[in-house]
Amino acid sequence: MNLKIEESNIDRFHRIGPTYKDKTSSITSRSIIIKFNDWNSRQKFYTSRPKLYIRGVKQKPGEHNFKVALDLTKRRYELLKFAKEKIKINNKIDFAFADSNCSLAIKIKEGPIIHFNSKDELHSIINKY
């Protein structure tokens, strides 16, 4: 990612979840969660994520043996999953996603990004488009 993160920028980190085996590299690993001390360090880290992934280029095994994902609450994760299912049938909406602030949003084709925080808000956005 070509990003320097100093130890002083990290408040704490620890392992979470069960151990799993990576399908491409066969490396056994376990996820970690990181809490940054300040907003700027966190934003630099999250905005550098796209440098890890190049569309259309298959990674060699072990080339990137980690991935970066946002840590959504169970409710927000379920709401995002629900939104992705609902917009599949709507050809005016591109996709649903969680931004670097963990806010849920949908991208309207050739239009704005609209944030939502409940099923009711999502339904009103989908009905509008």
Q: In whole angstroms, give the CA distance from residue 55 to residue 98.
A: 19
> What pLDDT is stored for residue 44 in this prediction?
85
Q: In whole angstroms, give the CA distance from residue 50 to residue 100.
A: 12
> What pLDDT is stored for residue 77 in this prediction?
92
Q: In whole angstroms, give the CA distance from residue 104 to residue 96.
A: 7
pLDDT class for 53, splitting at 50, 70, 90? Answer: low
Report the pLDDT averaged over residues 2-25.
82
Max Cα separation, the chain?
Answer: 47
Q: Report whether pLDDT(5) > 60.
A: yes
pLDDT class for 60, splitting at 50, 70, 90? Answer: low
90-121 tens-digit pLDDT: 888 999 999 877 899 999 998 999 999 999 99
Report the pLDDT averaged over residues 80-96.
91
pTM (two decimals): 0.64
Query: How big, in percent rounded to 5, are the helix, strand and coil portions of the chain?
Result: 30, 30, 40
> What pLDDT is stored for residue 6 in this prediction?
86
CB 15 within 8 A of CB 31: yes
Q: In whole angstroms, give the CA distance from residue 46 to residue 112.
A: 22
